[in-house]
Structure 1
Amino acid sequence: MLTNAPFTAEQCDETKPSCNQCAKSRRQCPGYKDEFDLMFRNETRATEKRAQRASKKTLLAAAARKQGTAEAESSTSARLAPPPTTTTTTITTTRRRSPFELAVIPAIQINTETQASCHFVSNFVLLPRQGSTRGFMDYLIPVMKNDPGASHLQFAFNACALASLGNRVSSIGTDFHERSFAEYVKALQATNAAIRDPKKSTSDSLLAAVLLLSMFENITATKNGEYAWGSHIDGAIQLARARGPNQLQSKVGLQLFIAVRIQLIIHALSSGEAPPMGVDWWFASAICDHLAARCQHLNLQTATLRAEVTSIMTSLARTPANTALILSLMRRAQALDADLAAWMAGLPPSWHHRPVHWQDQLPADESAFPGRVDAYPDFWIASVWNLARTARLICMSLAVRCAAWAVAPVDYRTTKEYAAAARTAGEMIGDILASVPYHLGWKGPTGGGGGQFACGEDHSMKGLAGYFLTWPLGCVIIQDYLTDAQRRWVVGRLKYIADDLGVKYAHILTQLQVRVPSMLIRRDGMMVQPYAMSHNFEKLLSDARRAAPTAGYAMNPLQQREAMQKQAYEQTRIELITRVTGVGVEESAQTVAKKWLSVS
């Protein structure tokens, strides 16, 4: 009990939640700490004894009411007591246990596997809201319940659970790393055996196990060479294909199919590969939420276009016909971006995010980047928003790559496509950064948010929030349009996700040294070898000046560059004469410039 004046312990009548003496004297009495709080916060032994003594009357009275007599309590205590252990301090059955001991001792003897399972479910299994289809890995609960004999699924789940818990707590006394990898190896062996079994190869449990194996890679991998996530996603894609349309007839089968589709989107966008079976195959009769499905469809279209652009740019010669083809691809990228922008604008109010804070400067814990901080209805909706934003970043990168290919050797940064891309990319980057504090439990005026998890506290720090952020932050960190300050902050947040939330894959993203679209543009130019007559530079320039205008432009690339240089030169002349003569009117300055600095 805390007071504003000296107050001895004898004066306190130990009433909970506050003593009567404090109430009469109008003193502040915060009450007494709970025994569980004392146990798990490692309070000193003296503090624990004081707490037990303070609540002894209440606990004993409750025990007496429940069991009737002190003799019945003693008998029940002996019966419920766990067997003696070989620890340094052994509690024998000859001494009557207090209600505190009876309550706490069984709680702290939960085995590691059970703790790991609860931890994983409370961090990564997001349940859908009532009347909604929004969830993440919620298929695990019914699949594990309906197929308890699926060893491949149980091993994969154990591997993820042990790895996740090991990343979040001290491993003193327990080698989580070794145990999780042992379960991972068992899962791989059992999964390979299940694939060869005609009955098990199309089961829900097998596909769920492969998705868990891919999750294990995100939780544990810290180096590119160790990262096998893509191979597991390729396997999940092939399993989804082999399962056929029948998998969509059940709720769990549909959830698994959509989970594979989401992983496919990220895999296709990050690898530059087109989605297998085409875009429409992944959406035939596989719709749970039309708004999310529309966004995912646009993302797969973006992945397909990116693969097409890369393939064409590495094989085409620079001819007028091929330039026209490249410009048509540029317009497709711009149209996709417009569709994504329209999807964002057309979302209902239940999907809208809102600004809740403006951060003037970088806080000491770097929890928010200076600028806007947004809040969302839940993690799932926030992840769909960021999926759309990353698709727009990729569309802008494709548009700039195509423009650079078409106008070379003119600097692509002088084109209107680059200016438009810089504006859009800057906006998308700002929106993604503004969503990060919400995901990571920001302790600002509105606190953090999230959703309904299978167990545990919904508003505690969740590994799933960090997992959802790895793709958008990984896409942002390689952008040319990111400022140095923004890049440092993103690196810091990725390290936080890896070290504090246990999604170790985030460490790999901090090591990326790629910059887009600039590096891709340079590679495109080197692969295509656009200057076939570079050995005869004079003839190259002569032919370039006489070339027909590029489709969609008034001049050919060289004429456009020379016009821009002339314009810049004229502007410099005007500024020079204005300073020398003091003439402030532009027309007068141009007249003087023609007289004083005439050129042929």
Structure 2
Amino acid sequence: MVYCGKPSRGCQMCRTRRIKCDETKPTCNQCTKSRRQCPGYKDEFDLVFRNETKATERRAKKATKKAAAAAAATATTTTAQRVMGSAGQEPISPASSSVGGGDELSPTFKDMIKSPFELAVIPAIQIPPETRATCHFVSNFVLIPRQGGTRGFMDYLVPLMKSESANSHLQHAFNACALASLGNRTNAGGGGGSTIDFAAKAYNEYTKALSATNAALRDPEASRSDGLLAAVLLLGMFENITAKQMGDFAWGSHVEGAIQIVKARGRKQLRTKIGLMLFIAVRTQLIIHTLTSGKAPIMGVEWWMGDAVKDEMAASCQRLNLRTSELRAEVTRVMTTVARTPENVELMQCLMRRAQELDADSVEWMRRLPEHWQYKTLCWEDHVPNGDYSRAEVFPGRVDVYNDFWIASVWNMARTNRLILASITVRCAAWVCSPVDYRTTPEYATAARVCMDTITDILACVPYHLGWHVKRKHLFQNDELSGFACGDDSDTKGLAGYFLTWPLACVMGQDYATDAQRQWVQGRLKFIGDELGIKYAHILSQLQVRIPSMLIRRDGLMAQPYPMAHNFEKLLSARMAPPTAGYAMNPLQQREAMQKEDFEKRRSELLNKATGTATGSTGESVKLVAQKWLTV
């Protein structure tokens, strides 16, 4: 305590506003005139003796920070390389040793890694591109969970990178992703004058990673290691970052490879912390792969969910996702293999009821979420600048914010799951009521209402992902938002775009989305591809898929053309009959050939409609993605 001279006796409000207070009690007239709540006056003792401890502490910290910055500036390159582990010789994080021991990530990890990175950016010309790329990737994609908080994203890389050599498959895969991501962001406007060919360096590292990964797969011991599985996941991510033509299928092949590795590793991989994190990461990729391809998950739901729960709420959502993928595959199989008989109509109605029950379970999951999982409405926006939806940051309506990106991504998985369940319900209703228009059924009316509400919820979360709220901190203050391994959390993150790409593509393909919503979503996907460097978003932004109407049309194309298909003996004897005189085929074979020709023609028309006006190599890529989504 020190004496600080004659203090002001005015109220705290007037002192803050730096105006003269008339010191009228109990409230001053200045506050009354300006309709402000007067906080009152300090005690006489507090006026004379003021606690300077906190102010002194702040000054000491400021002086220490300046001294540390001056000392670190003389050895910036060495410091950055040591902390970021650019060559694989040092750990990415000084706190990573605690992770390997099974403890939660230290809250000081981010603080220890952030300051040297900021120092390294200043004389960036002296920093090797690999080091800059490492800093960029970790600060954009490695999401660190808070103490006692939810899961992170790719946080398993922190301990794994510590134990890997400079020439390992994991190191090369990491370098490929980091260089590709930084190159995409640099070319987008963060440094267009750079003479470094990041793309060439990235593909060089990618080639080395593929070679090293293939060699490891031939080694019985290395093929089941944590490092190999993490490398395969990174290779899949590289395809999404760089995708221009075949990104979707290349990503799918890496996911299928990761699934086979997980299957070979067995249940014992769940005994370690890193093994459990990798298993859940593969399960997440499996869910997206099965929902987009219409395939059922191999080994079944229980194999993927049993004893592999890190966060109970997220695991419940993923269980619903896996059950939906199984149901969707079963519905498609039934529609393409059975005839329309009373027994099969009852079977289809049973499948439709299962879809409705799963949707009710999804609603119940949302209702049971704890408080820290809930989102908050930040504000409402009604204006679109110049009426151009493709460039607007916010679609008219709500703007919601979440506690972190990972929670928001789980919410969106649940929402897209509801969109898929609605399409299953309508497809079943269309099959049952055919040839009556399915849009007259009560199932269609319910699905339309659910989908329109779900689309609104997904659009409301996009500004949060893309950093709109950061520019308006006066509207919302929260110091516990998602924390990345290094860098400034206020920047727009590549991970946000990575999480958003698939939900936005699902929204754009819905029959229930309006033209304005599609235009806005298309603009956001273009922004993710151009500004955040997730190039796969460009391919998805050009899709003209409409669900469920195109799926219903496909169901009609793939349906069994023979009303007596269940009578296999009669069908077989007709097919094996000799050709009619003067013809090369019998009547049944002629009918099959004509139907096949008509099917191919209608199939081509459906795919051309789904790809829109896309041409060239991009058009071929869009066509391949559309073909996979529609499975025709």
* TM norm structure 1: 0.71
Question: Which of 135, 160, 166 is the aligned partner of 2:183?
Answer: 166
Q: Cα deviation per residue 1:526-568 (whole Å; 9 max; x = unaligned)? A: 22256849xxxxxxxxxxxxxxxxxxxxxxxxxxxxxxxxxxx
Would you say 1:392 and 2:418 are equivalent positions? yes
Decide whether the 8 Å contact of 1:441 with 1:448 is kept in 2: no
Distance in 1 (CA, whole Å) between partners of 2:524 and 2:124 is 35
The answer on whether the counterparts of 1:393 and 1:425 sit within 8 Å (CA) in structure 2 is yes
Q: Closer, same or farther in 2 for the Cα pair 1:408/1:104, shift >3 Å? A: closer
- Percent of residue pairs bearing the same amino acid type: 64
Equivalent residues in 2 for 1:37-48, closer than 5 Å: none
Q: 2:165 aligns with which of 144, 148, 160?
A: 148
Larger-Rg structure: 1
Say yes or no: does 1:430 pair with 2:456: yes
Q: Could you say which residue in structure 2 is the equivalent of 1:206?
A: 228
Matches within 5 A, 1:552-571: none
Distance (whole Å) between structure 1 residues aligned to residue 161 and residue 77 of structure 2: 32
2:140 paired with 1:123:
yes
Q: Which of 284, 287, 303 pairs up with 1:265?
A: 287
**Are the aligned partners of 1:122 and 1:453 in contact in 2 as well (CA < 8 Å)?**
yes
The whole-number CA distance in structure 1 between the counterparts of 2:248 and 2:521 is: 23
| 1:110 counterpart (116, 124, 127) | 127
1:459 aligns with 2:476: no
Q: Is the 8 A contact 2:232 2:257 kept in 1?
A: yes
Instruction: Name the counterpart of 1:508.
Output: 539
Question: Number of residues paired by the alignment?
Answer: 444
Matched, 1:333 2:364: no
Asked if the contact 1:412/1:418 (under 8 Å) is kept, the reply is yes
- Structure 1 unpaired stretches of 5+: 1-22, 24-58, 68-75, 83-101, 534-600
Counterparts of 2:216 and 2:162, CA distance in 1: 18
For residues 59-208 of structure 1, the aligned pairs below 5 Å read 108-148=125-165, 151-170=168-187, 172-208=194-230
| CA distance 1:80–1:319, shift in 2 (3 Å) | closer
Distance, in Å, in 1 between the alignment partners of 2:248 and 2:447 is: 35
Report the counterpart of residue 55 of structure 1 in structure 2. Answer: none
Contact 2:394 2:463 in 1 (8 A): yes
CA distance in 2, matches of 1:242, 1:133: 28
The alpha-carbon distance between structure 1 residues 277 and 215, as it changes in their structure 2 partners (threshold 3 A), is: same
Secondary structure of the structure 1 residue equivalent to 2:406: helix
Tell me which residue corresponds to 2:325.
Answer: 303
Secondary structure of the 2:223 match is coil
Residue pair 2:511, 2:546 contacting (<8 A) in 1 also: yes
Q: Tell me how large the CA RMSD over aligned residues is.
A: 2.6
Displacement of 1:138 after TM fit?
A: 0.3
- 3-state secondary structure, aligned to 1:201: helix
Q: How far did 1:363 drift? A: 3.6
Q: Distance in 1 between matches of 2:183 and 2:77?
A: 30
Q: Cα distance 1:356–1:105, how it changes in 2: closer, same or farther (>3 A)?
A: closer
Name the structure 2 match of 1:99.
none
Q: Shift of the alpha carbon at 1:114? A: 0.1
Q: 1:446 to 1:267 in 2, by over 3 A?
A: farther
- Partner letter of residue 282 of structure 2? V
Shift of 1:179: 1.0
Pick aligned residue for 1:374 from 400, 404, 416: 400
Report the more deviating stretch, 179-188 or 217-226: 217-226
Secondary structure of 2:289 counterpart: helix
Deviation at 1:222, TM superposition (A): 2.2
Q: State the AA in 2 paired with 1:135.
A: G
Deviation at 1:337, TM superposition (A): 0.4
Tell me, yes or no, if the aligned pair for 1:437 and 1:448 is still in contact at 8 Å.
no
Aligned partner of residue 228 in structure 1, secondary structure: helix
Aligned residue number for residue 478 of structure 1: 509
From the superposition, tell whether residues 383 and 104 of structure 1 become closer, same or farther in structure 2 (CA, over 3 Å).
closer
Partner of 1:86: none
CA distance in 2, matches of 1:198, 1:407: 54
Confirm or deny: 8 A CA contact 1:448 1:459 kept in the other structure.
no
DSSP-derived class of the 2:149 partner:
coil
The answer for the alignment partner of 1:255 in structure 2 is: 277
How far, CA to CA, are the matches of 1:200 and 1:357 in structure 2?
52
Specify the SS of the correspondent of 2:305: coil
CA deviations over 1:282-339 (Å, ceiling 9, x no partner): 0111000000000000000000100111111011111111111111000000000000
User: How big is the shift at 1:80?
Assistant: 11
Q: What SS class does the counterpart of residue 356 from structure 1 fall into?
A: strand
